[in-house]
Structure 1
Amino acid sequence: MPQSSTLSAPHESETRDGARDTADLGGAPLLVLGAGPKAIALAAKSSVLRAAGFDVPEVVAVERDRTAANWREGRGWTNGRQRLGTLPEKDLGFPYDCATWGDLDDPVIGEIAHRMSGYSWSGFLLSRGVYARWIDRGRPQPTHREWADYLEWAADRAGMRTVNGEVRRAELVDGGWQLTVHEGPARNLVHGRGLLISGPGPTSGTVPADGVRVLDTGGFWRLAVTGLPDWAERVVVVGAGETAGTIVRELALVMDREVTVVAPRATLYSRGESPFENRYYSDPTGWDGLSQADRQEFIRRTDRAVFSQEVQRDLALTSKISWMPGRVVGTRGGDDGVAVEVAYGGRQHIRHADLVVDATGGSPLWFTRILGPRAEHALRAALGGAATRDRVEQSIGTSLAVDGLPAPLHLPNLAGLAQGPGFPNLSSLGLLSDRVLAGYLPRHHVAPAAAARTGGDVTHRAGRPTDPAASAASAVIRGTARR
């Protein structure tokens, strides 16, 4: 079991005022909430960069379940049989353009790209001896369960450290972050120099779920694993994003139910996926030169409240789907089902259903609920007011962190508007890890290629080769963590 420099049992002084034995964060890691694709991409890139001589921080994930849990059945986000909506070649290292770390003629750039290819989707298939079989089958989209297997393989290969437990508080302490992590009756403190929030957070939705007639996303997928009850013949799905699309597909094609989708716009739009649109997801060069209105329209057209083209093709095979424009403003339950109140065009309409599934997801600001008083005050000061989505999106810099905080708080899920549409999703995990990790290097110089891709703010410096054992020896706090 690998040693970690980050975990400790709380001492009385720490519990009282957050004090630490030392303010030296030189050997402290970057903490990531959630052991999903973003954490694993960061851990892999950190491992590769450290081997290539860059003094970037180690990555430690804090996870209450297991690695890649949200991609497996029973965790409330999928039944594991759904197909991945992103091309699997857009894997943990994509787009494999390592210009952030030096000029393109520098041999180290090729070394970084080559080492990262060892964490690729094709590398995973090669390790299983099934790469040729996948090619011969026409490169089909992997299921969520297969994608989870890939992620776990990559996390193990990278030696990613994971602290198990649920984060109850995130506080700023001595220029870094301190997480209070609960695992059963045990409570530990985890320390790092930066914090990245990943994952969707808890589902909330727009209508209260009762777990029987009205379900949130998690409730639906947990029920789908065991089977939907026979009485749920007419189902209303609230939402028009990819989460809703996969639920509609499961209900109509697999479960053979009548489905009505309540969407905020006139119809169920498909996601734009031309080479011109996709380019901004892989390479956001020039993104900050677009007007804010055009960036918002681009994201709305290609990523929010749209179904993927794959889902649209599947839904065209059935006549069991209808839709109505509007927003659900309430539900009324009864013995014979649920009355769904839909507002549109200044009028209200009623749609009757046996079951309602609210697939609008959770709030991207969910992390603010766990911030300690110092962190909450610092965030408010950095934003110039209360944490609203608009303020946070406008504040995110090139390292995908909120500008003006005493320690980095990376929010890739809210970085799309300011930095590029691929950062909140799986479209550019390699570039995401470059942006985040480069922010921890001293400002030495900026390679021309890096300046072109980041607006000149991301800097890099080749440091001495990093010995993982030496990093562990420079422990801020002693303890153990589980892989």
Structure 2
Amino acid sequence: MSNSTTLDRHPAGEAWETGPAGAPLLVIGAGPKAIALAVKSRVLRAAGFDVPEVLAVERDSTAANWREGRGWTNGLQRLGTLPEKDLGFPYDCSTWGDADDPLTGEIARRMAGFSWSSHLLDRGSYARWIDRGRPQPSHREWAAYLEWAAERAGLRTVIAEVRHAEITDGGWTLTVHDGERTSEVHGCGLLVSGPGPTAGAVDPDGTRVVDTAGFWRLVTEGLPARARQVTVIGAGETAGTIVRELAVGLDRQVTVVTPRATLYSRGESAFENRYYSDPTGWTGLTEADRLEFIRRTDRAVFSQDVQDDLALTRNVTWEPGRVVGTGEAGTGQVEVEIAYGGRRHSHLADLVVDATGGDPMWFTRLLGPRAEQALRDALGGDLARERVERTIDTSLAVDGMPAPLHLPNLAALAQGPGFPNLSSLGRLSDRVLAAYLPAPAAEDRAHAHYEGAAQR
């Protein structure tokens, strides 16, 4: 990424400049959500809306989790979501005006300049992609698209690790460390993105029991020939890409331990996809129906792309249950203990991969005393995931906080299934940025800007 989008480092203890427009919206992580917000902020500001700029704090690099060597992929795995569901999807600008208002058309056209297709056009590879049948991009190719969009949008990025997050003066202050010094970053709101560190069903040892990052490190170095029988814990998309790499790419025998009866696929019908693209009517569903929808279409399911690849091999079996422990077997293998239906049994594996994914509540470990107490007060009790999921408002923030705390990764139950993933990044950015805008005044300013531009 070019230096033009990365803030210069300041001396320890000195606050980062926020510019004359006011405090920015802070985002932990410089991935798709941060970039989608930066793109939409740039477009809206150009159209006359006084929304905040976006400042991402990233300990690695832009779109790091989509690149090899960062612990979540080898970069060669294919994207599980259609690439047309890009940073602006679904390109519905009704948040900012009526459908027949020329202003909304201007916003949509400007957003299209940051689309997946525009990226390919800019790189001169659009025709080749079409001629090849519009294949799913690899994670490496998707990272290149995200970096291209971030640079075009001018995403401001602080390369540092967040150590502390506290509410100050109605906003947020992040204490960050860049490896050499500690600084502070101030903002009007905070959005937590990214999967967070892996939660872990078992303790990895780095050799025979590994987590997601450990697996991809082994693949990069060369998976040992001894690892013929592999057990994968988990049945979500993180696990799916690992199973595909093992069974199809490396021809290993794989047993998947899934908390449900079998390896379910992600629903891709027009009826299911509609709630991901447009959650209209979602809050009118009973909580039981919303939970069932999420369970059937998003949690512990493999994408259809992964399922299609696995259908070509006989290397994959599964066992329902949960792994409750591992131990060393006398054969030099790992004994995997599985609980299901009130009973326990075990089987042997040469390698165990814990692919249960990240912990969406990881951010609570960063909170200072004021922020933690404010969150407890807003939840009306303990910092439990179930409480957070039920208190997310339309801006994807925890309702009742004195400073906005946006948690899209926990917004599925309350606001719609597309917000935690890549299914509706354009709508996510609309929901978040609209929270910082006094609607009537902004509408007047935007119309004045548009009319002035038309006269020029």
TM range (shorter): over 0.9
State the match for 2:411 in structure 1: 415
Task: Give the Å deviation of 1:144.
Answer: 0.3
Aligned-pair distance for 1:104? 1.0
Match of 2:454 in 1: none
How far apart, in 2, do the equivalents of 1:153 and 1:463 lie?
30
Match in the other structure for 2:182:
187
**How far is the alpha carbon of 1:265 from its aligned partner?**
1.1
Match of 1:241 in 2: 236
What is the rounded CA distance, in whole Å, between the counterparts of 1:139 and 1:162 in structure 2?
32
In the other structure, the counterpart of 2:315 is: 320
Kindly indicate whether the alpha-carbon contact (under 8 Å) linking 2:41 and 2:53 is maintained by their aligned counterparts in 1: yes
How many Å separate the matches in 1 of 2:163 and 2:380? 25
Partner of 1:39: 34
**What does residue 220 of structure 1 align with?**
215
Contact 1:325–1:344, Cα closer than 8 Å, also in 2: yes
Given that 2:7 and 2:158 are in contact with CA atoms closer than 8 Å, whether structure 1 keeps it comes out as: no
Q: Secondary structure of the equivalent of 1:301?
A: helix
Evaluate the alpha carbon distance shift between residue 73 and residue 414 of structure 1 in structure 2; reply closer, same or farther with a 3 A threshold: same
Matched to 1:360, the amino acid is: T
Would the alpha carbon gap of residues 23 and 274 (structure 1) be closer, same or farther in structure 2, given more than 3 Å must change? Answer: closer
Whichever residue aligns with residue 77 of structure 1, its letter is: W
Post-superposition Cα deviations, 1:105-129, rounded to whole Å, max 9, x if no partner, equal 1110000000000000000000011
User: Tell me, what secondary structure is at the counterpart of 1:444?
Assistant: helix
Cα distance in 2 for partners of 1:189, 1:4 equals 16
Equivalent-residue separation in structure 2 for 1:271 and 1:400 (angstroms): 24
C-alpha deviation, 1:334, in angstroms: 3.9
Distance 2:206 2:443 in 1: 53
- Structure 2 equivalent of residue 58 of structure 1: 53
Partner amino acid for 2:344? Answer: Q
Please state if 1:404 is matched with 2:403: no
From 226, 238, 258, the counterpart of 1:231: 226
Q: Which residue is 1:291 aligned to?
A: 286
- Counterpart amino acid of residue 92 in structure 1: L
CA distance 1:418–1:132, change in 2 (3 Å): same
Aligned partners of 2:137 and 2:169: how far apart in 1? 44
Q: How do 1:107-186 and structure 2 match up within 5 A? A: 107-186=102-181
Could you list the per-position Cα deviations for residues 165-217 of structure 1 after superposition, in whole angstroms to 9, with x for gaps in the alignment?
Answer: 00010111111100011011211100000000000011121111111111111
CA distance in 1, matches of 2:108, 2:22: 25
- The equivalences for 1:266-305 within 5 A come to 266-305=261-300
With over 3 angstroms needed to count, the CA separation of the structure-2 counterparts of 1:465 and 1:202, relative to structure 1, is farther
For residue 222 of structure 1, report the CA deviation from its aligned partner. 1.7
Q: CA distance change for structure 1 residues 248 and 106 in 2, over 3 Å: closer, same or farther? A: same
SS class of match (2:440): coil
**2:7/2:157 contact within 8 Å kept:** no
* Structure 1 residues 175 and 290, CA gap change in structure 2 (3 angstroms): same
Q: CA deviation at 1:58?
A: 0.2
Pick closer, same or farther for the CA change 1:280–1:438 going to 2, 3 Å: same
* Greater relative contact order structure (CA < 8 Å, 6+ sep): 1
What secondary structure does 2:445 align onto? Answer: coil
Structure 1 vs Structure 2 CA RMSD = 2.3
Alpha carbons of 1:222 and 1:22: their partners in 2 closer, same or farther (altered >3 Å)? Answer: closer
C-alpha spacing 1:4/1:122, structure 2 compared with 1 (3 Å)? closer
Match of 2:445 in 1: 463
What is the deviation of 1:461?
3.3
Q: Deviations over 1:150-179 (max 9, x none)?
A: 000000000110001000101111111000
Q: CA deviation at 1:88?
A: 0.2
Structure 1, unmatched stretches of 5+, are 15-19, 446-459, 468-483
**What CA distance in whole angstroms lies between the structure 2 residues aligned with 1:266 and 1:461?**
52
- 1:63-85 CA distances to partner (integer Å, 9 max, x unpaired)? 00010010000000000000000
Counterparts of 2:89 and 2:166, CA distance in 1: 32
Amino acid at match of 1:282: S
Q: Deviations over 1:228-284 (max 9, x none)?
A: 111111100001111111100000111111110001111111111100000000000
> Matched residues in 2 for 1:462 and 1:45: separation?
19
Give 4+ residue runs of structure 1 displaced > 6 Å after superposition: 3-7, 20-26, 464-467
Return the letter of the residue paired with 1:420: G
- How many residues of Structure 1 are paired with residues of Structure 2 in the alignment? 446
Alignment check: 8 A CA contact 2:257 2:321 kept: yes
Matched residue, 1:441: 437
Q: Corresponding residue for 2:388?
A: 392
1:479 corresponding residue in structure 2: none
Q: Measure the CA separation in 1 of the matches of 2:5 and 2:82.
A: 36
Partner Cα separation in structure 1 for residue 255 and residue 48 of structure 2: 55
Partner of 2:453: none
Gaps of 5+ in 2: 450-456
CA contact under 8 A between 1:172 and 1:374: conserved in structure 2? Answer: yes
Equivalent in 427, 431, 438 of residue 431 of structure 1: 427
Cα gap change, 1:150/1:465 in structure 2, threshold over 3 Å: closer, same or farther? farther
Following TM superposition, by how much is the alpha carbon of 1:2 offset from its aligned partner in structure 2, in angstroms? 5.4
TM-superposed CA distance for 1:130, in Å, is 0.9
| 8 Å contact from structure 1 (residues 8, 190) kept in 2 | no
After TM superposition, give the deviation of residue 441 of structure 1 in Å. Answer: 0.5
Instruction: Classify the secondary structure of the residue corresponding to 2:60.
Output: coil
TM-score, scaled relative to structure 2: 0.94
CA contact (8 A) 1:282 1:428 kept: yes
Q: Shift in Å at residue 9 of structure 1?
A: 4.7
Q: 2:96 aligns with which of 90, 93, 101?
A: 101
Report % sequence identity: 72
